Structure 1
């Protein structure tokens, strides 16, 4: 028997398009093979409140009829939402020779972190098998593998193998975590398992593919590519024969970088933008963002603008220009001084008697935001914001200024990782000037300004943020790790009071264990922080 893994990039809500892609994959599958697609392949994952629309299911039924008609001399395992008797299920259906062989309903519905499946689905309760080419095959869907009970239901059914449809999002080391779990399940239950994962960027989630199979001894027999569409045919007799095993990323930096590229490419392309534009400051955050954008879209679709002011160092202009030339993109230099002066002249009567403060600094950032949004409107290119996770956490960013834009490429990347990613990208081809990486970071909104004037060193800041934001440690817990209490209290306070900013920020791809957005949903109006 042959089993085909179709690791495809589907678009949420594009049922007709997704169906056509499925039909094309069916066409090229070998005769008498089983072809397996990811979880909710027809709608894409996660479809969110599209699942509440009655017309969604009319489109799904039409698509499923086409898939059934195409299933001659093949068995097709496809994931989709299904309604029955007033309930909605996360389903996997099996079609062969125009007939429905089996339909399985996901039993373990995740309702934590980025997952919200109990809002939409009813849990299934039964194991489901089908026979094909003399083999008995069981079905599972994603979270079912992480729960002990669903796979145990197959112990008494004497199945030859289990097929698991998945939409498992990326975070660091997730691929090894999946494989470790599935190897353990295969060995404990003496059954071969095929794990088919989705690959795409979907808003703030990244699905990294890496589909694989293990034999009943818990040995890896194949692994598909990460962050790319892939298609592989496996041979199965009494067990799987070894096949192609793609390597995993060889470092955290490589893993994160390819995830950011996939997320950016899919967000820009699937939302119909002609390209991207960003402010290139000569600093490391915008330099990394530019590199990701070019790798995702190609240099011909990316524009960068350097917008100097009187506080901008000449080296910043030189470094921005050098990177733009190295990456072969459209590049412009537009001074914001005339715009800033115009705003200040208009505001002067109302500012009379007031001392200069962050208002003037923020006005510089907002002047730049106006330029970028104007270019976006005129050229149909999305503005990529360049703020990192450390800045977003403590509010070191300006609403309607450097936060103005549609996609925040490094929003979930801590500053310390930004440096590592910049160095990693230069190993693929040196495009980020060394001085950008080594000079002290600065917003350049005031004379001789550097970030560390108002923030603790980034190594300390990122460690404190990880403890508070990702691990939910208290101030006392964080202090016990060796950090000064006054510093911890300052960082925690900044995190708490800047929730309103983060709520208004552009979305960006999740790459850490817990991001601002789907993972961490805190109230804006809250007295919790005042009681620390």
Structure 2
């Protein structure tokens, strides 16, 4: 049996585009002699559709798309993802479903059993778990079709009470097919391989796994679809961060034609769950995920041009380089906004960066604007000493200038704040925290340095001085980040334990970190939740990002 995996980039609610992509792939697969083609989870409407699922019109459009697609499924079997209405009227109105189409008909529908509600997922809000589990017979084969999370319910501590593959095994299937929308994080590719291998080893069946690709606001899907033979050898892997259509021949004995990519013994058996932060871990994948996140955010929203403040610091430099790769240098405008506290090399470094990248830039000094604010506030501020208030006026002046230029010329502002800053509240609301999308908000400062090194892997794009100089907001004379924050090499490790690993203060202190420093850092994190709650969407690259996947009360006593 010749089976194609269609790893495609969908656009939530863009039924015309999604349906056209699906039908084109079906037609190409037919020309190549395919028996079956597999698409990813909720491919018809895009994932995650969230509250769009509550609109009857949205579900009607899903059904209309299925009706178009089934007409292309004449001589070929098609497995495609879409919502299915619950006609039993017990429980929620919808199922998350995989439609099996053949001979221009709907031959079967498989419903998702395991509905995740952790991190960025909230499927039980919309869907009812499956009631029934049936294999689908096709050309002499029995197909066990599952959807994403359904294959993750293995091990000694399963998340759900029902394992759908256990139910399907009662009907003696010949192969497993899983349609998925599994988001990227820099640990997750190994996780997937480990869990799919575990399924293959347990059930002794080949597995065809089709994952979506592309970014949906903050969530990046990396593709990396997989094919395993019945002996748990990895026989096919589609590329990360790319759309791809590829066919594989499944033999009757459960083997796959062609060379084995990775022998079963070399495929990971366990999830990648780093105990400590490794800023260099999969940095190339993080780079590519961020580029895709920027590109798809702009492309799917109908934007074409970006703007950002270029300070001569490493965060804005890395953001600018990523944006130029994603959108083209000519479409990214950098604004240099020096004040009386800016060093001369900050301006020259930022200028050199834009020259290296060949992107347009402007210099708009803020001294006169800042002085005007101070003059007008003099009757209220009187002779009180210089403080955070004056520092933040500079940051908000820059934010106003960036938004004014963005409004005038139709740009979208890229935010350059990193995860270390966002965690500790080292940023100004309505100033340097302004933006339409947060590019580095899920990368700790040390990861930003690793990204800079990766960007410079072939030649110097980011000037060396930007990378080597001490980080500074330059909001007062001689200011350095180290005046307000612990050394990033230590800070990031503490933050990683608290945010990614959900370790409490005593657990972190037991790892050898200074007790007073741990208390100070964790207090900063919790007290600044109100700032993050007002922040723009952040491109997610870690197992636990700020945003929709991390729900912490703004008003809470814990560690405060």
TM-score by length of 2: 0.92
Cα deviation for residue 130 of structure 1 reads 2.0
The structure 1 residue matched to 2:103, chosen from 97, 101, 114, is 97
Whether the aligned pair in 1 keeps the contact of 2:12 and 2:49 (CA below 8 Å) is yes
Which residue in the other structure is 2:271 paired with? none
CA distance in 2, matches of 1:466, 1:110: 24
Which residue in the other structure is 1:425 paired with? 455
CA distance in 1, matches of 2:109, 2:346: 60
Whether the aligned pair in 2 keeps the contact of 1:36 and 1:196 (CA below 8 Å) is yes
The structure 2 residue matched to 1:114, chosen from 117, 120, 124, is 120
CA distance in 2, matches of 1:242, 1:49: 43
Alpha-carbon spacing, 1:127–1:241, altered in 2? closer, same or farther (3 Å): farther
Which residue in the other structure is 1:35 paired with? 37
CA distance in 1, matches of 2:137, 2:501: 46
Which residue in the other structure is 2:145 paired with? 139
Aligned-partner SS, 1:201: strand
Q: In the TM superposition, what whole-angstrom CA distance separates every residue of 1:300-337 from its partner, at most 9, and x where no partner exists? A: 11111111011111111111111101111011111011
CA distance in 1, matches of 2:236, 2:408: 47
Q: In the TM superposition, what whole-angstrom CA distance separates every residue of 1:245-278 from its partner, at most 9, and x where no partner exists? A: 6999x95111111111111111111111121110
CA distance in 2, matches of 1:64, 1:154: 25
Count of residue pairs brought into register by the alignment: 529
Whether the aligned pair in 1 keeps the contact of 2:43 and 2:81 (CA below 8 Å) is yes
Q: In the TM superposition, what whole-angstrom CA distance separates every residue of 1:89-115 from its partner, at most 9, and x where no partner exists? A: 000001112111110000111111111
Which residue in the other structure is 1:518 paired with? 548
Aligned-partner SS, 1:529: coil
Which residue in the other structure is 2:172 paired with? 158
Aligned-partner SS, 2:84: strand
Q: In the TM superposition, what whole-angstrom CA distance separates every residue of 1:184-230 from its partner, at most 9, and x where no partner exists? A: 21122110101100101111111110001100000001000001111
Cα deviation for residue 428 of structure 1 reads 4.1
CA distance in 1, matches of 2:482, 2:120: 33
Q: In the TM superposition, what whole-angstrom CA distance separates every residue of 1:121-177 from its partner, at most 9, and x where no partner exists? A: 000032232222322211000000001421122323222211100000111121111
Which residue in the other structure is 2:489 paired with? 459
Which residue in the other structure is 2:60 paired with? 58
Which residue in the other structure is 1:275 paired with? 305
Cα deviation for residue 469 of structure 1 reads 1.9
TM-score by length of 1: 0.97
More off after superposition, 215-224 vs 477-486: 477-486
The structure 2 residue matched to 1:125, chosen from 121, 124, 131, is 131
CA distance in 1, matches of 2:67, 2:373: 61
Which residue in the other structure is 1:221 paired with? 235
**Structure 1: runs of 5+ lacking an equivalent:** none
2:334 matched to 1:320? no
Aligned-partner SS, 2:179: strand
RMSD of the TM alignment (CA)? 1.7
The structure 2 residue matched to 1:180, chosen from 185, 194, 199, is 194
Which residue in the other structure is 2:8 paired with? 8
Alpha-carbon spacing, 1:292–1:245, altered in 2? closer, same or farther (3 Å): farther
Q: In the TM superposition, what whole-angstrom CA distance separates every residue of 1:337-356 from its partner, at most 9, and x where no partner exists? A: 12112222222222113221
CA distance in 2, matches of 1:373, 1:421: 27
Which residue in the other structure is 2:81 paired with? 79
2:71 matched to 1:69? yes
Aligned-partner SS, 1:181: helix
Flag as ranges the 4+ runs of structure 1 deviating above 6 A: none
More off after superposition, 369-378 vs 208-217: 369-378
